Chains A and B, each alone.
Chain A
Amino acid sequence: MTFTRGFTAEVRKGLLNVVAGWREVLVNLITFPVFYLLIVLFMGRGQLRAELLLPALLGMMALTFIHEQVNRMFWGYLGDIQSGVLEQTYLTPLPSSALILGRQVAAAIAALPTALAVLATGAVVIHAQGGRVPFDARVIVPLAAIVVGTCGLALVLCGLTLVFKRIEIITQLSVAVYAIVGGTLVPLAAMPDAVAAVSRLAVPIAPGVEAMRDILIGGHTLTDLPSGWGLGWLLIQPLLILTAGSIAFNRLEHLAKRRGTLGRP
């Protein structure tokens, strides 16, 4: 019961913080769709080419989600450490997993509007060009894989910031790396084999983006995914990243308690 109360309180608090920071949300709702259109224009050498709109849309949605989720999670956590509020959340009978889970869910929910704004923009432009955005319920599986894998990454980054200062640069760099080699804008199939392999192995959104394209653009089923390493890896990779993130966070949390870095200016 206590776990549930703590979890729901954390989700509620996270969403209240999103409402409190509505200006930032509004800016993101505008800038990310604009960024998507600029990317497609860049890739199409100044034209919104129909064959680029949908693949880029799927990649950009995933990129927007990981950017929003990880950044909200990370910066919120860092802010709580620096302001000392995080220590107060440890003065409760709750395991920290309840709170971190609540933070993850709130961050994921908060990331959705911006990702949906990108989707809506893409849908309007594609529709204006006479096309349509396909939908297949099976796409929920790669979407879930993206969410779970992203949560694992956020756990690693939050754990690191409990112990080490100036992790901000790693957070920014990691999201930038995913934009470049995560298969979001350029499919992994078009990259060198080694880069594609590392990306499928370690980038939380890479298998999900590949599977989304296979299902929605290629019309394939989940058991017949031609790109990447198949359904098995699509399911296992995010779980592995989440497990690694949970272990890393737990270890780093213990280290933070030994070093006294749970709260610091």
Chain B
Amino acid sequence: MIEINALTKVYATAGLPAVDNLSLHVPAGSVIGFLGPNGAGKTTTIKMMAGLLTPTSGQVRLGGFDVTRQRPAAMTRIGAVLEGSRNVYWSLSAWQNLMYFGRLKGMRRARIKDRARDLLTELGLWERRDDKVGGFSRGMQQKVAIAAALIADPPIVLLDEPTLGLDVEATRTIKRWIAELAGELGTTVLITTHQLGVVEEVCDRVAVIRQGRLVADLPTRELLAGSRERDRYEIRVEGAAPPGFDGVTRDGVTTITLRVDAPGEVYDLVERLRAHGVVLQSLTQVRPDLEDVFLALIQEPAHA
């Protein structure tokens, strides 16, 4: 379980807070997508959660332990892959890295060996376990970083852009792992990514942060359902777009995309098109995906 209470971080060199009074509760066994545009404060929040950055105010508790005041206990509950860093030693082999990080976590050698064998086999790296990580592809290096984060079976896993640079197969493996971690082992997973398809697929909850503030924290389904009133409709008509409508014409067919605030407005649109004498080919409701919802949330005017 992750509990974040009124977390704030103000860097001395910046006037505005990077994270502003953020509160978030993630129940055990859930997978939460922590989203936001670049510079929104995601990495700052994750580093405070991991105890790598001291908050200006507020508190983070991992599995009931305060990250600042009960650091050793809190750190036994966490594994993390941090974005934009190597996470593991490139001068060492995959096996040596897992042995090293396992020992740092306080594990016994025999247990590390068993766990490392399982992880490397699962990620398809067993045959290359003795090769230096520096010689691996970006995707393989990321796999080793994920394996190192999971070596001690932590109950809480923070994954900052875990699928960046991974191929389709590896991305699928990571997604399956995340689902298994949460579903079978009860691991709490917090994931940040710009690949919103991954979030939609694996996260049962989504939190969106903008300018350091939390602007949404809902179950994924609820977040998507809450945006239905902003559904889009795609209308295809023969010939050019009638006056008052914008569309893209191709091969004599114009596609008009409109957003409506209420389903009843669709009938009005059709009436207006009929009044212009256009021939309607099709009318399709386009359900918003997470990308639409995310963009809508981060583009809304900021509240004072």
The answer to whether B51 and A2 have CB atoms under 8 Å apart is no
Chain A CB within 8 A of B100 CB: yes
B91 at the interface (CB under 8 A from A): yes
A257–B44 Cα distance when bound, in Å, is 11
- Output the least CB separation between A247 and chain B (Å): 19
- What chain B residues lie within 8 Å of A258 (beta carbons)? 53-54
Nearest A-chain residue to B81, judged by Cβ: A88
* Pair A88/B103 contact, Cβ less than 8 Å: no
Query: From residue 14 to 40 of chain A, which have CB atoms closer than 8 A to chain B?
Result: 16-17, 20-21
Is A223 engaged at the interface, CB distance under 8 Å to the other chain?
no
Tell me, rounded to whole Å, the shortest Cβ–Cβ distance linking A15 to chain B: 11
Interface size on A, residues (CB 8 A): 34
- Nearest CB on B from A98, distance (A): 9
Q: A20 CA to B86 CA in the complex, in Å?
A: 18
Whether a CB of chain A sits under 8 angstroms from the CB of B256 is: no
Check if B96 sits within 8 Å of A6, measured CB to CB.
no
| B106 and A6 contacting across the interface, CB-CB below 8 Å | yes
Quick check: B104 and A16 within 8 Å, CB to CB? no
How far apart are B46's CB and chain A's nearest CB, in angstroms? 11
How many residues from B make CB contacts under 8 Å with A?
38
**Contact A91/B79 with A6-B103, A9-B100, A262-B52 known, Cβ cut-off 8 Å:** yes
* A257–B52 touching, CB < 8 Å: yes
Closest approach, in angstroms, between the C-beta of A129 and any C-beta of chain B? Answer: 42
Is B104 a contact partner of A9 (Cβ separation < 8 A)?
yes
Q: Is A220 an interface residue (CB 8 A)?
A: no
A260 to B46, CA, bound (A): 12
Q: Is B148 among interface residues, defined by CB-CB distance under 8 A?
A: yes
Chain A positions 87 through 99: 1 when the CB is less than 8 Å from some CB of chain B, otherwise 0: 1111111110001
A17 touches B91 (CB 8 A): yes
Minimal beta-carbon separation of B128 from chain A (angstroms): 16
Query: Are B87 and A2 in touch, CB under 8 angstroms?
Result: no
Residue B284 CB within 8 A of the other chain: no
Q: CB within 8 Å of B: which of A90-112?
A: 90-95, 99
Cβ–Cβ contact A263 & B54, under 8 A: no
Give Cα distance in the complex from A2 to B50, angstroms: 19
Q: Does the CB pair B80–A91 fall under 8 Å? A: yes
Q: A5-B103, A257-B54 are in contact. Are A263 and B92 (CB under 8 A)?
A: no
- Residue from A13, A85, A87, A88 with most neighbouring chain B CB atoms (10 Å): A88
Can you list the 4 inter-chain pairs with the closest CB atoms, starting with the nearest?
A84-B85, A9-B103, A93-B72, A2-B106
Is the CB of B136 closer than 8 A to any CB of chain A? no
Give the interface centre of B11, B47, B103 by most chain A CB atoms within 10 Å. Answer: B103
Contact flags B89-102 to A (C-beta < 8 A → 1, else 0): 11110001001110
- Bound-state CA distance A254–B51 (Å) is 11
Nearest-CB distance from A58 to chain B (Å)? 34
Asked if A20 meets B12 with Cβ closer than 8 Å, knowing A93-B105, A260-B47, the reply is no
B53, A88: Cβ atoms under 8 Å? no
Is A265's beta carbon under 8 Å from chain B? Answer: yes
Evaluate contact between A16 and B148: CB separation under 8 angstroms: no
Whether A20 contacts B44 in the complex (CB less than 8 A), given A83-B85, A85-B87, A94-B104, comes out as: no
Which chain B residues border A12 with CB–CB below 8 Å? Answer: 100
Map CB proximity to B onto A59-87 as digits: 1 under 8 Å, 0 otherwise: 00000000000000000000000011101
